[in-house]
A and B are shown apart, each in its own frame.
Chain A
Amino acid sequence: MNYFINQTFIYKLLAYIVLLILGTGFGFPHLSFAKELQAQYSLIIEPEQCVAMRQGQVCYVDVKISWQAKQMNDYCLFSSLQPKALQCWSNVSTGSFQQEMSANKNLVFSLRKKGRLSDLITNELEMAWVYDKSTRKNVSWRMF
C-alpha cells in the first residue's frame, strides 16, 4: 500500500516536471513570436522626453510619431491619454502623426490593427523635470 502511494506521488511529481518543461517550451516560442512581431513594426517618438520645471507639473510637448509596418493593412495609433484612436490609416504600411500634447505621466503610444485590441508595438514618451518635489519643499523660499 505504501509502495503504491509512493509510486503515485512520484508519477505526479514527474507529471508536474513534464508540464513545467512543456510550458516553458511553449513559452519560448511564444516570446520569440512576440519579438518577431515587434521586429515587423517600428514606432518612433520625437522627442523621447518632455521636460517640465517641477515634478508633477503638466508638461507640454509637440509630439511627432512615425510608424512603419512590413505589411500593408489598416492600422490605428493609440495613446495612454484616451481610449479613442489618435488616428487610423487604411491600406498603408507607414504613417506619421503630429500633435501638441500635455501630461504629467509618461505617455505610452501603441500601434494596433484596426478593430483589434492587441498592441503590435508600443513606445513611451518619458516625463522628466528639473526640480523634484522634495527639492522644492526645501528650496522654494529662495527661488524667488
Chain B
Amino acid sequence: MKKTLQHLSLSLLIGLSTIHSNHLYAEDVISNTPEPDQEDRNGGFLKLGYGYKVEISPYADEVNKFSMFLNGRYQWNGLFVEAFYGANERNEGLSIGYNFYNTQDWNFDVSTINAHGEINVGIADADKMLFQDFDNTDMIGLRATGNFEQATVQFMVAPYAMSSDYDDAFYASMWLGKSWQVKNWELHGSIGLEYRSAAMLDYYYGISAEEATEHFGPYEAGAGIDVTAQVSASYPISTNILFETYFKYTDFAGSINDSPVMQFASSFGDRAKERTEVGVLVSYVF
C-alpha cells in the first residue's frame, strides 16, 4: 500500500511537471520579456511567527506548545542564504547557495541541503546498550525551480555530502506546490517526494551484527522515499502581519519504518510512525 502510494505520487508529480513544461513552452514562444539580471533579483524577506504547534513523529515526544517560527531568504548578486524553520514553508533549516542561471520561469541554483537530521538514541536492551548517535548529513546539489502563475515545481539532486562518516550519500527531491486565492485568503497545497540512498538510510537506521542486541537484531536499510503532503491557509491582516494555519503529513520510507529502532520509537509514548504537524500562528513579515 505504501509503495503504491509512493509510486502514485511520483507518477502524479512527473505528470503534472510535464503538463506544466508544455504550457511553459507555449508561453516562452509568445513572451519576449527581458530577463531580470542578478542585481534585479537582489533582496528577500524575513518572516517571524509565533503560534501554537502540535507535532507527532517517531523521532521525538509529542510537541504541544507555543512555538516561534522563522522563515527568511536573502539573495545578493546570486548568492543566497535561506532559513526555514517550520510553519507554512518546508522545514529545511539553514542553507546557502548560488543562483547561477535563470529563465523567465525557471531558477537554477547550487545549494546546500540538510539531507538528514541527527539521531541520538541509546537503548539498554538486557545486558547490552544499542547506541545510535549520528550527525546531520549536509549535502550540496543542484536545484531547479519553476514558477508558473500559482504553481511551483522544484527538483533537487544532491550527490555530494559536505561532511559525513559514510560514502555514497545521495539525496533527491521533487516538490509541487499550488496556491489558490479565495477572497483575500491564500490556500496552498503541496506534495513532495524525498529520495535517500541506501547508504544514507543504512547509516542512520541499519544495525550491524556487532551492534545487534536481543530485541534489536541486525538490520540493513535500503533506499527509500518519504512522501510529504501539506495544506495551508494564510490571511493578510495588514501589509506586515499574516494569520497562518497549516497541516503537514509525512509518510516515511518503508526502510525507515521497518527499522527495529524506529518501530520501537514509534510505539513509545505519544509518538507515531508518521509525522503529523498542525499549527496556527501570527507572523510578522519584514
Contacts and interface: CB of A to CB of B under 8 A. Distances in A.
B236 A141 contact: no
Contact of B44 (A50, A53, A58, A138): A138
B202 to A, nearest CB: 29
Contacts of B192: 144
Contact of B147 (A52, A59, A128, A137): A137
A138 B73 CA distance: 9
Interface string B58-99: 000000000000010101000000101000111000000000
Contacts of A137: 36, 41, 147
A43 B100 CA distance: 52
Interface string A113-143: 0000000000000001111001111111111
Contact of B175 (A52, A57, A144): A144
A52 B236 contact: yes
Contacts of B177: 143-144
B43 interface: yes
B145 interface: yes
Nearest to B230: A144
Nearest to A61: B184
A45 interface: no
A144 B90 contact: yes
Contacts of B145: 141
B285 A142 contact: no
B152 A52 contact: no
A33 interface: no
Contact of B181 (A57, A134, A143): A57
Interface residues of A, number: 25
Contact of B154 (A59, A60, A141): A141
A65 interface: no
Contacts of A136: 147
Q: Is the interface of B mostly helix, strand, loop or mixed?
A: strand
Given A60-B183, A141-B152, A53 B89 contact: no
B270 interface: no
Nearest to A139: B73
A51 interface: yes
B135 interface: no
B184 A60 contact: yes
Given A57-B181, A130-B240, A130-B285, A142 B44 contact: no
Contacts of A144: 88-90, 152, 175, 177, 188, 190, 192, 230
A135 B234 contact: no
Among A54, A58, A134, A139, the one with the most B-chain Cβ atoms within 10 Å of its Cβ is A139
Nearest to A141: B145
Nearest to A129: B239
Nearest to B241: A130
A105 B176 CA distance: 31
Interface of B: 36, 40-41, 43-45, 71, 73, 75, 82, 84, 88-90, 107, 145, 147, 152, 154, 175, 177, 181, 183-184, 186, 188, 190, 192, 230, 234, 236-240, 242, 285
Given A52-B184, A138-B75, 4 more contacts: A135-B43, A139-B45, A142-B82, A144-B89
23 contacts: A51-B184, A51-B237, A52-B184, A53-B236, A54-B186, A57-B181, A58-B181, A130-B236, A130-B285, A131-B285, A134-B40, A137-B41, A138-B41, A138-B73, A141-B107, A141-B152, A142-B73, A142-B84, A142-B90, A144-B88, A144-B177, A144-B188, A144-B192
